[in-house]
Amino acid sequence: MAKKTRISKTESKNLANALCHAKRQHKVEEYKTPAILARLLLEAFIYEDGNINSEWFVREKVCSAGKFTKLRSRLISDDWIYFREDSKRYFAGSRLKPHLDDLKGTIAVTQAQFDRLNELKADRSELLILDEKKVDRAELELRLAETNSRINAIAVAVRELQDTMLPPDSLEKKSVRERSAKKIASLAH
């Protein structure tokens, strides 16, 4: 069974590829487990407010105990992250920022869609409760059918959007994502 993570393999694939490419480009030692490193960097800046700590990286086997400082220094020198003395915090560097921005946009759209889907499910639950109380059955069935239709349409659009969540390397995938997001937004209102 796959380990549950907050960032999926497909969401971190572009960054993992960039980390692999960085090794070849600069002719330096490659990052150990670039796919896991990519996921941890994205999770750190999206969910942990840039909190990067050695226990987490060692536990995930990105580096061994005592080698975290060397890894962090390399990430800084390669412009993946940087440290600000005034705030004593790490921030996304110029090479990591585009990957974070892409993922944040995707997560925001997806989260809004799921929130709306949950609202519609709550509406459906409310309608089912009214049905149990034998309220005007014809009106109730019509409202229930409309709600189910909207839920199904949003679910299809979400699946379409998730299918295009693979690396956004083509304009066609980007336009499909944008159409799906607009379709979901229009269905949600």
Q: What is the pLDDT of residue 9?
A: 78
60 with 127, same domain?
A: no
Q: What is the mean pLDDT of residues 54-82?
A: 88
pLDDT at residue 164 above 70? no
Give the Cα separation of 186 and 174 in Å (integer). 18
Residues in contact with 14: Cβ distance below 8 Å, sequence separation at least 6, in sequence order? 99, 102, 167, 168
pLDDT at residue 49 above 50? yes
Of 95, 110, 126, the one marking the end of a domain is 95
The structural domain count of the chain equals 2
Grade residue 1 by pLDDT with cuts at 50, 70 and 90.
Answer: very low
In a domain, 24, yes or no: yes
Half-sphere exposure of 103 (CA within 13 A, CB side): 24
pLDDT tens across 104-150, in order?
Answer: 777 766 667 777 777 877 777 777 776 676 656 777 788 888 888 88
Of 95, 111, 135, the one marking the end of a domain is 95
Give the Cα separation of 149 and 36 in Å (integer). 40
- Report the residue count for the chain: 189
Tokens representing 88?
């004593």
71 with 122, same domain?
A: no
* Domain range for 123: 101-188
Q: What is the pLDDT of residue 122?
A: 78
Say if pTM beats, i.e. exceeds, 0.85.
no
Q: What is the pLDDT of residue 100?
A: 87
35 with 83, same domain?
A: yes
In a domain, 2, yes or no: no
- Please, what is the average pLDDT of the chain? 79
Give the Cα separation of 30 and 19 in Å (integer). 8
pLDDT at residue 168 above 60? no
